[in-house]
Structure 1
Amino acid sequence: MNTEKDFLYHFTENYDTILKILKDGFRLSGCLEQRKGLPGELSLLKTKVSVLCLTDIRLHEIKYHSEKYGSFGIGVTKKWAQSYHAQPVIYIDKNSGLCKAIEEYFPSIKNKFLNTNKESRDEEEMFLLNLELFCKDIEYFTEREWRILPQFIDDKLLKTIKGEYYIDISNQDDIVCIIAPRKHIPQLNKDIRLIFNKKYKNENIPFPIIPYEYLEMI
C-alpha cells in the first residue's frame, strides 16, 4: 500500500496548466540555471536545461512550497516518476568535502562546461554535464527537489508538442491527488471528467481533489 513517502508533487500558478498536464502530460520546460552549488567560477556558469521539477515534501509542508510556485498542484507516484529516471537533487555546501573534491579533481572543468559542441564531448564531459544538472546549493535543501531530464528517457516515451518535450501519465492510478483553491473544485471536477473520458475512456476520478485552503490548517 502506498504511503505519502511514495508520492511526489508538482505545483503551478495556473488552473489551465493542471488541465494540460492531465491531458498531454508534463512539459519538460526549458530554463536557464546558474549552478550556485558548484565551487569557484563554476558557480557563475549558466546552463540551459529542459527539466521537470517535482518535490518530495509532505502535505503538511506544502503550504510554504506552494506559496512560491503556485496554489495548484498534482501528486504522482514515485514509481511513475522513476519510470522516467527521476533523480533527487544533490544539495552541496560550498565548504563541503564533495565541493572541494570537484574543484580539485577537475581543474579544467570550466572549459568542459563551456563546450557546447555535443558531438565532440567525451564521456568525462558528458558525465560532468549530467552531474551538474542535479547539483544545487544547500540553501535550497528544503525544496527536496527531484528532477526528470529528457536525455535519460527512452525516445519512445517522450512526446513532442510544438518542439517541446512532454512525458505522459498513461495510467490514472499514477495520479494520487490534485490540489486547487476551493472555489475552482466544482469546475475542476467537470473538466477532469471530460479529459479522462476522452483520454482513458473512463470519467471516474480515482483520487482526491484537495482544497488548497486545507493545507493552511495542517
Structure 2
Amino acid sequence: MGKKYLSANTLFHFTNNIDNIINILKNEFSPRYCMEKFEFIGSNNLEIAIPMVCFCDIQLAQIVNHIENYGGYGIGLSKEWGVSNGINPVAYSIKGSVATEAISKVGVDMRILKNSGEITDEILTGLSQSIDLLSHFIFFMKPYEGQAWNKKSFDGSHTRFYDEREWRYIPDLNCIKSNKIRWFLNKDEYLNEDFRRDNNIRMSEISKLSFNPDDIKYIVVNSEDEILKLCKEIDNIKGDNYSQNKLNILKTRIISKEQILSDF
C-alpha cells in the first residue's frame, strides 16, 4: 500500500453552477481577476485584484466545507498536471511575523534604492526586474485568516484561509507585460463591472491553462440528476477531439456532491 498523505493527489477547482464546468471543459481554464487583501505586507492594507485560477488539494472526505463555500460543481485534475503547468501552493502569512516583515522590508528597501538615482542603468534594470519578481511572489501569498471578500469589500465571514489549502495558477508576468495587459487591478477598477469584464476577456485571450482527459480525475456536479446532462455535454464538447474510449473514461469520473456527502 502506498504512503498516505494528509493532502490530496488531486487539485480541485470549484464553482457555483454546471455551466461553468461545461465552459471549462469546452474552453479550458482562463485566469480571472480576484480580489486579495495583502494586510500582512507593510503598514497599508493593500487591496488589489490579481489574475488567477484557484485550486485546492483537500481530500474528498474533508472537502464538505469547501464545497459549501465555493459551490457544488468542480473539476479535479492530477497534481502532476498542476506542477507541470506552474501551479503552486499558496504561502499563508501572518502580519507582523518574521517572514512577512522580512519580505516587506526587502520590498521597501529595493524601491528606495531604485528611486535613489545613485545606481547605474544596468543595475537599475536588474533591480526593476527583481522588484517585479518579488511582487509576483507576493501574489502567491495569502493571510492565514481574515475577513472573506463579500461582493464589494472584505467584510464577509471570518475565515481561516489556511484550511482552504489553496494552489494558484498566475499567468506568466513577461507574457502579461509583453501583451500590455494589466497584471493587477485596484479595487475601484475591479468593482467597475465593464472594466473588469474587458480585462478578464483580454487575459483569457493570452493565457489558457490546458488539460487533456487523462489529467482529469473527478468532475463534480451538485446532484445525481445532472450526471446524464453532463455526459451528453461531454459528447457534444469533446466528441471531435477525443476518442470514444477517452470520452467513456471521462464520463466515469463524474461524481455528485450528494455522493461525496454520503460516502466520504
TM-score, normalised to structure 1, is: 0.82
Alignment match, 2:188: none
Alignment match, 1:117: none
Listed as ranges, the gaps of 5+ residues in structure 1 are 113-119, 156-160
For 1:176 and 1:98, locate their aligned partners in 2 and report how far apart those are by CA, in whole Å. Answer: 36
Give the 5 Å matches for 1:73-88.
73-88=74-89
For 1:37 and 1:60, locate their aligned partners in 2 and report how far apart those are by CA, in whole Å. Answer: 31
Identity of aligned residues (%): 31
Identify if the C-alpha distance between structure 1 residues 7 and 18 changes in structure 2 by more than 3 Å, giving closer, same or farther. same
Aligned residues: 203
Structure 1 vs Structure 2 CA RMSD: 2.8
Give the 5 Å matches for 1:138-217.
138-139=144-145, 140-151=161-172, 162-163=201-202, 164=204, 165-169=207-211, 171-181=212-222, 182-202=224-244, 203-206=247-250, 207-217=252-262
For 2:104 and 2:174, locate their aligned partners in 1 and report how far apart those are by CA, in whole Å. Answer: 30
Identify if the C-alpha distance between structure 1 residues 59 and 146 changes in structure 2 by more than 3 Å, giving closer, same or farther. same
Residue pair 2:136, 2:173 contacting (<8 A) in 1 also:
no
Comparing 100-109 with 195-204, greater Cα deviation is found at 100-109
Residue pair 2:107, 2:134 contacting (<8 A) in 1 also:
no
Moved over 4 A (4+): 108-112, 152-155
Alignment match, 1:15: 18
Give the 5 Å matches for 1:38-77.
38-41=41-44, 44-77=45-78
Displacement of 1:153: 8.9
Counterpart residue type for residue 10 of structure 2: F
Matched residue SS, 1:187: helix
For 2:173 and 2:85, locate their aligned partners in 1 and report how far apart those are by CA, in whole Å. Answer: 8
Counterpart residue type for residue 69 of structure 1: Y
Comparing 178-187 with 97-106, greater Cα deviation is found at 97-106
Residue pair 1:193, 1:205 contacting (<8 A) in 2 also:
no
Counterpart residue type for residue 248 of structure 2: N
For 1:149 and 1:34, locate their aligned partners in 2 and report how far apart those are by CA, in whole Å. Answer: 16
For 1:98 and 1:110, locate their aligned partners in 2 and report how far apart those are by CA, in whole Å. Answer: 19
Displacement of 1:124: 2.2
Comparing 146-155 with 29-38, greater Cα deviation is found at 146-155
Q: Deviations over 1:78-134 (max 9, x none)?
A: 11111211110000112421022223444357889xxxxxxx771221122111101
Alignment match, 1:126: 132
TM-score, normalised to structure 2, is: 0.68
For 2:175 and 2:105, locate their aligned partners in 1 and report how far apart those are by CA, in whole Å. Answer: 34
Displacement of 1:30: 1.7
Residue pair 1:93, 1:99 contacting (<8 A) in 2 also:
yes
Listed as ranges, the gaps of 5+ residues in structure 2 are 114-124, 146-160, 177-199
Displacement of 1:15: 0.7
Alignment match, 2:149: none
For 1:104 and 1:122, locate their aligned partners in 2 and report how far apart those are by CA, in whole Å. Answer: 16
